[in-house]
Amino acid sequence: MEELKKPASEEFGSLVFSDKVMKERLPKDVYKAVHKTIDEGTTLDKNVANTVAAVMKEWAIEHGATHFTHWFQPMTGLTAEKHDSFLTPQADGTAIMEFSGKELIKGEPDASSFPSGGLRATFEARGYTAWDPSSPAFVKDGSLYIPTAFISYGGEVLDKKTPLLRSIDALDTEAVKILHILGDKDVKHVDTTLGSEQEYFLIDKEKYMKRKDLVMCGRTLIGAPAPKGQEMSDHYFGVLKPRVSDYMHALDDELWKLGVPAKTKHNEVAPSQHELAPMFEIANVAADHNQLTMEMMKRVADKKGIACLLHEKPFEGINGSGKHNNWSIATDTGINLLDPGKNPAENLRFQVFLAAIIKAVDEYADLLRISVASAGNDHRLGANEAPPAIISIFVGDDVEKLLDAIESGAAYTTTGKVRMGTGAHVLPEIFKDNTDRNRTSPFAFTGNKFEFRMPGSSLSVATPNTVLNTAVSEELSQFYEELKDVPEDGVKDAVRALVQKTVKEHKRIIFNGNGYTDEWVAEAEKRGLYNLKSVPDAVPHMLDEKNVDLFEKHHIYTKAELESRYEIYLDNYAKEVHIESLAMQEMVRKDLMEGMIGYMHDLSSELVEKKTVMPDLDCTFEEDTLKKLTMLSNKMGSALEKLKTDTIEAEKVADNLAKGKEYHEVILADMDALRKEADAAEALVPDQYLPYPTYAQMLFSLR
Ligand code: ADP
Ligand code: MG
């Protein structure tokens, strides 16, 4: 009989050292002290740390842990861990399980093999991890995982979490200052909230293993299109196939145990593409949970004989995968600051935050673009399913009307909720949302939050949220400067004037039309908006003076830290394309060519045989196919040679920016040219000759 499982509500968070566990197990004063640290950022006293460590260890051992690890997020965009056992051998040959407050709070992984973008050259190789008590520890695979920040000996930031935490603090400070001016004096603290929807592909693992391109690069580098793609729109929200459904259940189970609030799951637009959306959480925890989600997606797939693809563009010709970043700000008094409420025209709080966001996105669009820049995402942004590389804001009809009214000083009346007729009396009454969706906008207001749609599916959400928080903090701090000396009875008018001025000055960033059209590209250029198409186009703006100033002012990154990130982005980009070039050369030369030669060999033997037996027989098909394949293999040969020599040259370029450009302009173009011939050839070769599965075999592989 099938084992009866615990109800999901009991399973949820069962492997998390949660607030509830702390409350139950820690002495009252210690629990309070930890909370003070979490809520107010005070440093933890040594005795308190020791008590927490002891209790954590007991709890972790009860949950099967023998080891602990500081879990951090170096600039690879992945997570890193190094496990130490709790065991301490004793003189008498026995051992005890130990874990001190010091071990909880601080770790010393060797930083020298993580990317540091030159910071290491100037400073020291030593790195420290520091406990982040705002993200709960958990047990996984017999280890206690402690979320940590990662910094160098000299205090330089070496990870993605630290800047995010700093930006959350900056936004907290600036938002509270503004709220106090607006009269919300009881607000002590605001949180950034984040829900990141995660798209992914699933294909049969045996098939995956036969594709060198997928195994090494995460995306297919050649492949003739399948006869069927996404044109029938029959996959989106379609019935879950049994293997997919089984996978999704197993994934939910694993995530729930780790306290990841996985909520929604469905099929996406492309065949074999799916999505998971979590409930939103505090941004820092949500970012950690998204890392866990990606890891579990791969892990659970592997156990089920499936490969989970998180690359932004695994297959040509069908949609790629993104990670929609739903973002808002909430006060400790329970207000969502991006909720327009019943009467947005009178909701100055909403207007101020909306204005700050509009100004932030307009002034720092380049930074937002950079925050999602990667070789993989370049293939997605601007393709016709993803938001274009141009950043603009969609606000929807209602807010647009509100903004028009603010700008012109005219009265605004909300349409309110509109009842919809369903035409059938058994159906319940439903009300229309006040905005329709606009899937083409990179930055869309969705009723009570903004959805930033540019992040790629494999990206760490830490960086885009760091930029967003920092940019909005800056605008709020400017607003504060303008409002701080206004007498209390003049605040309303001053705020109205400020919002009006801001909307006037920054409305060029607002675009409610179709972002996929060429007209928009032209219009955006007229408006002076950035259109940063590739990593080497975008990344140099990181060091623009206004951007360095922004990050330094809010203590997010120093100039040196930005320079190091600039080098890392470009270096990673060149390396990624370099590996793709090599993988493609290998796959074309060895796998596709092998299939083609095998087929050509059989075709010509057949032709010779036929001609010997019946010299007058018409063998046009065989002859034609042979001719075409021979021609294509010649073209492939020269395209391959060009790719090979150009890649050798690109590799030699010393400057990272010049190198990135070389890979973008020359190598990717070479790869496109080679792919064109390769795909034409593959289309002529019967499947059984190919040592790797075709698009059709991969995309429809799970039943
Ligand atoms: P939509 O219908 O616009 O897609 P959903 O309610 O389905 O909105 O939410 C989509 C994602 O946005 C989910 O991950 C959800 O948790 C997240 N979300 C909802 N409200 C907020 C908020 N206030 N802050 C951050 N994320 C949010
Ligand atoms: Mg969405």
How does pLDDT run across 176-222, given as a tens digit for each residue?
999 999 999 999 999 999 999 999 999 999 999 999 999 999 999 99
Torsion of CA 667, 668, 670, 676, to 10 degrees: 160
pLDDT mean across residues, the chain: 92
In a 10 Å sphere around its CB, with 0-12 CB exposed, 13-18 middle and 19+ buried, how is residue 133 labelled? buried
pLDDT at 13 over 90: yes
In a 10 Å sphere around its CB, with 0-12 CB exposed, 13-18 middle and 19+ buried, how is residue 184 labelled? middle
Atom of ligand 1 nearest to the CA of 448: 23
pLDDT per position as a tens digit, 79-125:
999 999 999 889 999 989 999 999 999 998 877 777 777 765 544 56
Q: What is the DSSP string of 173-196?
A: HHHHHHHHHTT-TT---EEEEEEE
Output the furthest CA–CA distance in the chain (Å, rounded): 104
Helices (H), 182-282: 205-209, 212-217, 242-257
Give, for ligand 1, the residue of 289, 443, 449, 453 to mutate: max count of ligand atoms closer than 8 Å to Cβ: 449
Does 193 contact ligand 1 (Cβ within 6 A)?
yes
Evaluate whether 176 touches 187 at the Cβ level (below 8 Å): yes
**Residues of the chain with pLDDT > 90: what percent?**
79
DSSP 313: -
> What pTM, to 2 d.p., does this model score?
0.95
Evaluate whether 532 touches 541 at the Cβ level (below 8 Å): yes
The identity of residue 675, as a single letter, is R
Residues 231 and 346: their CA atoms lie apart, in Å, by 46
Q: What is the pLDDT of residue 415?
A: 63
Atom of ligand 1 nearest to the CA of 336: 23
Q: What is the pLDDT of residue 409?
A: 83
Residues 241 and 703: their CA atoms lie apart, in Å, by 6
Point out the least confidently predicted range of 40-44, 45-49, 312-316, 556-560.
40-44
pLDDT per position as a tens digit, 326-343:
999 999 999 999 999 999
In a 10 Å sphere around its CB, with 0-12 CB exposed, 13-18 middle and 19+ buried, how is residue 688 labelled? exposed
HSE on the CB side for 535, CA within 13 Å? 33
Give, for ligand 1, the residue of 280, 446, 448 to mutate: max count of ligand atoms closer than 8 Å to Cβ: 280
HSE on the CB side for 658, CA within 13 Å? 7
The answer for 305, left when phi > 0, alpha when psi is -120 to 50, beta otherwise, is: left
Q: What is the pLDDT of residue 122?
A: 47
HSE on the CB side for 381, CA within 13 Å? 30
Residues 303 and 51: their CA atoms lie apart, in Å, by 38
Q: What is the pLDDT of residue 127?
A: 84
Helix axes 161-181, 283-303, angle to 10 degrees: 140
pLDDT at 382 over 80: no
Nearest-CA neighbor of 328 among 305, 295, 357, 355? 357
Nearest-CA neighbor of 574 among 534, 533, 532, 531? 534
Residues 517 and 444: their CA atoms lie apart, in Å, by 17
Torsion of CA 88, 89, 95, 101, to 10 degrees: -20
Point out the least confidently predicted range of 425-429, 535-539, 640-644.
425-429
Which residue spans within 378-492 are E strands per DSSP? Answer: 393-394, 418-420, 430-432, 443-445, 450-452
User: How far does the centroid of ligand 2 lie from the alpha carbon of residue 147, in Å?
Assistant: 28
Q: What is the pLDDT of residue 120?
A: 57
User: How far does the centroid of ligand 1 lie from the alpha carbon of residue 570, in Å?
Assistant: 33
Does 452 contact ligand 1 (Cβ within 6 A)?
no
Residue 490 makes CB contacts below 8 A (sequence gap 6+) with: none
Q: What is the pLDDT of residue 4?
A: 60
User: How far does the centroid of ligand 1 lie from the alpha carbon of residue 37, in Å?
Assistant: 28
Exposure string for 251-278, b = 16+ CB within 10 A, e = fewer = bbbbbbbbbbbbeebebbbbbbbbbbbb
The identity of residue 520, as a single letter, is W
pLDDT per position as a tens digit, 19-47:
999 999 999 999 999 998 888 777 888 89
Q: What is the pLDDT of residue 87?
A: 92
Point out the least confidently predicted range of 24-28, 154-158, 568-572, 588-592.
154-158
pLDDT per position as a tens digit, 358-377:
999 999 999 999 999 999 99
pLDDT at 1 over 60: no
DSSP 134: T
Does 414 contact ligand 1 (Cβ within 6 A)?
no
Evaluate whether 374 touches 209 at the Cβ level (below 8 Å): no
- Residue 16 backbone phi and psi in degrees, to 5: -110, 135
Nearest-CA neighbor of 322 among 200, 208, 404, 240? 200
Which residue spans within 414-565 are E strands per DSSP? Answer: 418-420, 430-432, 443-445, 450-452
Please name the residue that has the structure tokens 């290491």.
Answer: 120
pLDDT at 236 over 90: no
Q: Mean of the pLDDT values across residues 150-175?
A: 93
Helix axes 491-506, 396-408, angle to 10 degrees: 110
Q: What is the pLDDT of residue 384?
A: 64
Q: Mean of the pLDDT values across residues 318-326?
A: 95
HSE on the CB side for 131, CA within 13 Å? 26
Atom of ligand 1 nearest to the CA of 324: 11
pLDDT per position as a tens digit, 640-669:
999 999 999 999 999 999 999 999 999 999
Q: Which ligand is nearest to the CA of 289?
A: 1
